[in-house]
Amino acid sequence: MEGDRIEEATLANSPVDEISHLALDIGGSLIKMVYFSTEKDKPQKDGRFLNGGLYFLKFETSKINECLDFISSKQLRCRGIQHCGFPASDKNIIKATGGGAFKFADLFKEKLDISLDKVEEMSSLVSGANFLLKAVPSEAFTYVNGQRNYVKIDHNDLYPYLLVNIGSGVSMIKVDGDGKYERVSGTSVGGGTFWGLGKLLTKCKSFDDLLEMSHQGNNRVIDMLVGDIYGGMDYLKIGLSSTAIASSFGKAISENKELEEYKPEDVARSLLRMISNNIGQIAYLNALRFGLKKIFFGGFFIRGHAYTMDTISVAVDFWSKGEAKAMFLRHEGFLGAVGAFMNYKLVEEFPNSNSLVGDLTDNGIIECRVHVSS
Amino acid sequence: MNINEETKNINEKSNSEEGEDTGKEMVPPVANSIHRSSSRPQLDLSGAAIQGNFEERDPTILLPNQSDDISHLALDIGGSLIKLVYFSRHEDRLVNDKRKKSMKERFGVINGNRRSFPILGGRLHFVKFETAKINECLDFIHSKQLHRGDNDNAVIKATGGGAYKFADLFKEKLGVSIEKEDEMDCLVAGANFLLKAIRHEAFTHKEGHKEFVQIDHNDLYPYLLVNIGSGVSMIKVDGDGKFQRVSGTNVGGGTYWGLGRLLTKCKSFDELLELSQRGDNSSVDMLVGDIYGGLDYSKIGLSASTIASSFGKAISENKEIEDYRPEDISLSLLRMISYNIGQISYLTALQLGIKRIFFGGFFIRGHAYTMDTISFAIQFWSKGGAQAMFLRHEGFLGALGAFMSYEKHGLDDLMVHQLVERFPMGAPYTGGKIHGPPLGDLNEKISWMEKFVRKGTKITAPVPMASPRTTGLGGFEAPSSKGDTLRSDESNLNVGVLHLVPSLEVFPLLADPKTYEPNTIDLAEPNELQYWFTVLSDHLPDLVDKAVASEGGTDDARRRGDAFARAFSAHLARLMEEPAAYGKLGLANLLELREECLREFNFFDAYSTIKQRENEASLAVLPDLLMELDSMSEETRLLTLIEGVLAANIFDWGSRACVDLYHKGTIIEIYRMSRKKMQRPWRVDNFDAFKERMGFGENKPPRHKRALLFVDNAGADVVLGMLPLARELLRRGTEVVLVANSLPALNDVTAMELPEIVAEAAKHCDILRGAAEAGGLLMDAMISIQDSPREKSSSTPLMVVENGCGSPCIDLRQVSSDLAALAKDADLVILEGMGRSLHTNFNARFVCDALKLAMVKNQRLAEKLIKGNIYDCVCRYEPAS
Q: Which residues of A276-302 are buried (b: 16+ CB within 10 A; e: fewer)?
A: bbbbbbbbbbbbbeeebebbbbbbbbb
Measured CA to CA in angstroms, residue B536 lies from A47, B456, B524, B573, B859 at distances of 94, 23, 17, 12, 15
CB neighbours of residue B466 within 10 Å:
19
Cis before B222 (ω within 30): yes
pLDDT value for B653: 66
Query: Which tops the pLDDT comparison, B284 or A89?
Result: B284
B706 in contact with A, Cβ within 8 Å: no
Euclidean distance between CA atoms B316 and B326, whole angstroms: 17
Q: Show me where the domains of chain B are located.
A: 3-194+400-414, 202-284+324-391, 440-600, 608-878
Euclidean distance between CA atoms B438 and B881, whole angstroms: 50
**What does DSSP say about strands A147-150 and A161-166: parallel, antiparallel, or unpaired?**
unpaired
Measured CA to CA in angstroms, residue B156 lies from B73, B76, B180 at distances of 7, 11, 8
Is B231 in contact with B337 (CB distance < 8 Å)? Answer: no
- Do A173 and A285 belong together in one domain? yes
Q: What is the mean pLDDT of each run of 10 residues along chain B (881 residues)?
A: 38 36 35 34 44 41 38 80 79 40 42 42 79 83 70 77 84 88 91 88 87 86 92 93 91 93 88 88 85 66 78 82 92 93 94 91 82 88 87 88 79 75 60 49 73 40 28 25 31 68 90 92 84 89 91 92 88 82 86 90 90 89 91 94 90 64 67 80 95 90 95 93 96 95 92 93 92 81 44 76 92 93 95 95 96 92 92 94 75
Is B438 in contact with B430 (CB distance < 8 Å)? Answer: yes
- Do A301 and A163 belong together in one domain? yes
Is B14 in contact with B38 (CB distance < 8 Å)? Answer: yes
pLDDT value for A201: 93
Number of domains in chain A: 3
> Residue B663: how many CA atoms within 13 Å on its side-chain side?
4
- The burial class, CB within 10 Å (0-12 / 13-18 / 19+), for B270 is middle
With contacts defined as CB-CB under 8 Å, which chain A residues touch B258? 222, 224, 247-253
Euclidean distance between CA atoms B243 and B191, whole angstroms: 12
Cis before A137 (ω within 30): no
- Nearest CB to A192; choose among B297, B306, B309: B309
- Phi first, then psi: what are they for B763, rounded to 5°? -60, -30
The B residues from 375 to 414 touching A (CB cutoff 8 Å) are 381
pLDDT value for B579: 84
Euclidean distance between CA atoms B743 and B507, whole angstroms: 18
- Domain membership of residue A271 (yes or no) is no
Q: Report the run of H or E that residue B248 belongs to, with start and end.
A: strand B242-249
- Domain membership of residue A360 (yes or no) is yes
- Do A29 and A172 belong together in one domain? no
Euclidean distance between CA atoms A233 and B72, whole angstroms: 31
- ipTM of this complex: 0.83
B257 in contact with A, Cβ within 8 Å: yes
- Nearest CB to B310; choose among A62, A102, A193: A193
Is A245 in contact with B250 (CB distance < 8 Å)? Answer: yes
DSSP B650: T
Q: Which residues contact A263 (CB under 8 A, 6 or more apart)?
A: A217, A221
* Residue among A199, A248, A284, A300 with most chain B CBs within 10 A, to mutate: A248
- Domain membership of residue A38 (yes or no) is yes
> Do the Cβ atoms of B290 and A201 come within 8 Å?
no
CATH homologous superfamily of domain B608-878?
A: Uncharacterised protein PF01937, DUF89, domain 3 (3.40.50.10880)
- Do A102 and A10 belong together in one domain? yes
The single-letter code of the amino acid at B815 is: V
Q: What is the longest distance spanned by two Cα atoms in chain B?
A: 105
Q: Report the run of H or E that residue B245 belongs to, with start and end.
A: strand B242-249
Average pLDDT of A65-81? 68
- Nearest CB to B255; choose among A103, A244, A250: A250
- The reply to whether B608-878 shares the fold of B3-194+400-414 is no
Task: Provide the domain limits for residue A302.
Answer: 140-189+276-329
- Do A34 and A116 belong together in one domain? yes
pLDDT value for A84: 44
- Return the CATH number of the domain spanning residue range B202-284+324-391: 3.30.420.40
A351 has pLDDT over 50:
no
A125 in contact with B, Cβ within 8 Å: no
> Do the Cβ atoms of A196 and B247 come within 8 Å?
no
Fold of B3-194+400-414: Nucleotidyltransferase; domain 5 (3.30.420)
A209 in contact with B, Cβ within 8 Å: no
> Do the Cβ atoms of A99 and B297 come within 8 Å?
yes
Q: Which residues contact B2 (CB under 8 A, 6 or more apart)?
A: B115, B116
Report pLDDT digits (tens) over A102-113.
889 999 999 888
pLDDT value for A129: 93
Q: Estimate the crossing angle of helix B766-774 against helix B754-762, to 10 degrees.
A: 140
A267 has pLDDT over 90:
yes
The A residues from 60 to 89 touching B (CB cutoff 8 Å) are 62
- Nearest CB to A192; choose among B245, B286, B321: B286
pLDDT value for B79: 72
- Do A44 and A168 belong together in one domain? no
With contacts defined as CB-CB under 8 Å, which chain B residues touch A173? none
Report the chain A residue with the minimal C-alpha distance to residue B314. A196
Question: Virtual CA dihedral for A189, A190, A193, A199, nearest 10 degrees?
Answer: 160
With contacts defined as CB-CB under 8 Å, which chain B residues touch A239? 245
Ramachandran quadrant class, B338 (left: phi over 0; alpha: psi -120 to 50; beta: rest) = alpha
- Do A243 and A107 belong together in one domain? no
pLDDT value for A37: 76
Specify the 3-state DSSP secondary structure of A8.
Answer: coil
Closest CA to A319 of B245, B222, B242, B237: B245
Q: CATH number of the domain that A303 lies in? A: 3.30.420.40
- Do A230 and A309 belong together in one domain? no
Beta strands in B721-814 (DSSP E): 735-740, 798-802
Euclidean distance between CA atoms B337 and B339, whole angstroms: 5
B338 in contact with A, Cβ within 8 Å: no
The single-letter code of the amino acid at A156 is: N
**What does DSSP say about strands B873-878 and B684-685: parallel, antiparallel, or unpaired?**
parallel
- Domain membership of residue A198 (yes or no) is no
Alpha helix ranges (H) inside A23-104: 64-73, 79-84, 100-103
- Domain membership of residue A281 (yes or no) is yes
Specify the 3-state DSSP secondary structure of B96.
Answer: coil
Report pLDDT digits (tens) over A120-173.
888 999 999 998 898 887 789 998 888 888 888 888 888 999 999 998 889 999
- Do A79 and A172 belong together in one domain? no
With contacts defined as CB-CB under 8 Å, which chain A residues touch B307? 169, 188
- Domain membership of residue A212 (yes or no) is no
Closest CA to B503 of B416, B418, B415: B418
Specify the 3-state DSSP secondary structure of B292.
Answer: coil
3-state helix, strand, coil in chain A (%, to 5): 40, 25, 35
What integer best gives the mean pLDDT of chain A?
A: 79
Euclidean distance between CA atoms B839 and B59, whole angstroms: 30
- Domain membership of residue A325 (yes or no) is yes
**Chain A closest-CA separation from residue B20 CA (Å):** 13
Band of pLDDT at residue A190, cut at 50, 70 and 90: very high
- Do A53 and A178 belong together in one domain? no
